[in-house]
């Protein structure tokens, strides 16, 4: 992986927290910042995909594809974020037929 240099302006509070974490975790500041950015990007991807899902723009399967999270893990993630699982009309009718047999 090639690393490139970038500049970011951060509030004093964020830098203070970063310093505390570098000391507590005994990590290099640059390594810790890279890790934080990677975690943040993953979280933003998940939030964006969940937003599309809650608006009905994508299916549960597409949500799994976009986030790279398995269906089982997504059920837990939806529950954790208080987002309801959406049944499609076809799936709902299929479940009703299966349950009424």
Residues 33 and 39: their CA atoms lie apart, in Å, by 10
**90 occurs within a structural domain:** yes
CA angle 30, 34, 40 (to 5 degrees): 140
Instruction: Decide: 60 and 74 in contact? Cβ < 8 Å.
Output: yes
Instruction: Look up the pTM and report it.
Output: 0.77
Question: What pLDDT digit, counting tens, does each position of 28-84 carry?
Answer: 999 999 999 999 999 999 999 999 999 989 989 999 999 999 999 999 999 999 999
Is residue 73 in some structural domain? yes
**Residue 6 falls within a domain, yes or no?**
no
Number of folded domains that form the chain? 1
Q: Is the residue at 7 inside a domain?
A: no
Ramachandran angles phi, psi of 7, nearest 5°: -115, 135
| Residue 89 belongs to some domain of the structure | yes
Domain of 19 in residue numbering reads as: 12-99
Has residue 5 been placed in a domain?
no
């Amino acid at each position: 992986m090639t690393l490139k240099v970038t500049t970011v302006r951060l509030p004093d509070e964020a830098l203070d927290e970063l310093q505390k974490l570098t000391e507590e975790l005994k990590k290099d500041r640059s390594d810790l910042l890279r890790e934080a950015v990677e975690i943040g990007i993953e979280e933003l991807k998940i939030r964006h995909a969940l937003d599309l899902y809650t608006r009905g723009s994508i299916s549960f399967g597409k949500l799994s594809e976009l986030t790279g999270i398995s269906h089982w893990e997504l059920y837990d993630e939806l529950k954790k974020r208080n987002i309801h699982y959406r049944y499609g009309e076809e799936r709902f009718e299929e479940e009703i037929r299966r349950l009424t047999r």
